Structure 1
């Protein structure tokens, strides 16, 4: 006789919630993967350029050793910089624990990650978040804020303006993303390499990160709890 294990409604609900969260995280990673690849390639490109110049100079009848020495130093410096940049990009996939970042810097990083894609799809970003004395959990900001920015632009007509703003909300900080299409805007063609992100994906990620979320078709509001400034990552 085959025994059956009874699953309580609470366990079933928790399993479903976890699956929604994991699905949303995977979709988010797939959407930012091209941007990660683009940024990594960008950090390595100068090394290739200097190497090509160095190779041509080595073929000269009488190479200038001082110039070659400087070129060699440049390659070493660029290699260290590229390694550091790539290690930081990898933390989008394998986050550091308890990392925090100033709010304005975190938002600029998230927007910078998506800048090329947003511009290509007809979205211009106006970032009015300049607060320097508020720090946020890095992974939470990268996850919920980035997902919200992608989800809103996925469903919006373009060209459009994306406005980023923040304001105090008691002991928390409210971040708002608003998308305003231009009068001649139209739904863009499906050019993405993976499925669109939905606001239900953002909700699943916000629930997992304990972020209060409110949204409509053209805006999203998120309530973030700041962390101590002395915990900032290097």
Structure 2
């Protein structure tokens, strides 16, 4: 990765900068993800409601056998477990709790899946070039930087683009490049106004400083260099 004027250095003074900019950027990211997170939270709850209505109608008709009733209850329990899992997963975006590591490619796929429907509606095509190496990074930093980079670059685009996300391991660190390339002769995309303000380069910079992650901006691309996640908490002995 070549240095440029937009590189965010690893310095103690940078880490001590006021957190206001980073907190505003995190809020902006969450507001932009709001519709997607809301959908992920309620989709299983809606399925439970529909299943309960069907079950109630069958009970009123009295046509179900005990075996049919037991099958319906089992499906309802499974939907409830899925709903709880979805709500817990969504909650980690609002209250991350203790940071945990995640495999590099899995973390990026997690980010891309959240933005998939929005990108499809806007005519963006996503290309992945991800390593499957067992390289762990901190999940919170990865989420913040990759999501902010994707949103800021696509916000700045003038039309439908190909969005390329490349991740590789170089010199003991993860290097992630997010690039947008205009699509020629692209179909007229559906115009969707963002649910909140646009994210820009200043937001991505603020997050990089907060997470102490090296960042380089190029023409229509952002490169992120992240160290391997190494646990620093002391090991605890489980009670016998």
Smaller-chain TM-score range? 0.7 to 0.9
Say whether the 8 Å CA contact 2:102–2:136 is kept in structure 1. yes
TM-score, structure 2 normalization: 0.83
Q: Which stretches of structure 1, 4 residues or more, deviate above 6 A after TM superposition?
A: none
Aligned CA RMSD, in angstroms, stands at 2.4
TM-score, structure 1 normalization: 0.85
Q: Structure 1 residues 46, 210: closer, same or farther in 2, change over 3 A?
A: same
Query: Tell me, which stretches of 5 or more residues in structure 1 are unaligned?
Result: 1-10
Say whether the 8 Å CA contact 1:100–1:138 is kept in structure 2. yes
Residue of 198, 201, 204 corresponding to 2:203: 201
- Report how far residue 189 of structure 1 moved: 4.7
Q: Distance in 2 between matches of 1:189 and 1:115?
A: 16
1:63 aligns with 2:37: no
- After the TM superposition, which of the residue ranges 114-123 and 42-51 deviates more from structure 2? 42-51
- Structure-1 residue corresponding to 2:238: none
Say whether the 8 Å CA contact 1:152–1:217 is kept in structure 2. no
Counting matched residue pairs gives 218
Q: Distance in 2 between matches of 1:62 and 1:213?
A: 64
- Structure-1 residue corresponding to 2:167: 166
SS at match of 1:128: strand
Which structure is richer in relative contact order (CA contacts within 8 A, separation 6 or more)? Answer: 2
Say whether the 8 Å CA contact 1:151–1:199 is kept in structure 2. yes
- Structure-1 residue corresponding to 2:143: 142
Q: Distance in 2 between matches of 1:132 and 1:67?
A: 47
- Report how far residue 204 of structure 1 moved: 0.5
- Structure-1 residue corresponding to 2:5: none
Q: Structure 1 residues 47, 204: closer, same or farther in 2, change over 3 A?
A: same
- Structure-2 residue corresponding to 1:216: 218
Say whether the 8 Å CA contact 2:145–2:208 is kept in structure 1. yes
- Report how far residue 187 of structure 1 moved: 9.6
SS at match of 2:63: coil
Q: Deviations over 1:191-224 (max 9, x none)?
A: 1121100011001101100110011341110001
- Structure-2 residue corresponding to 1:30: 31
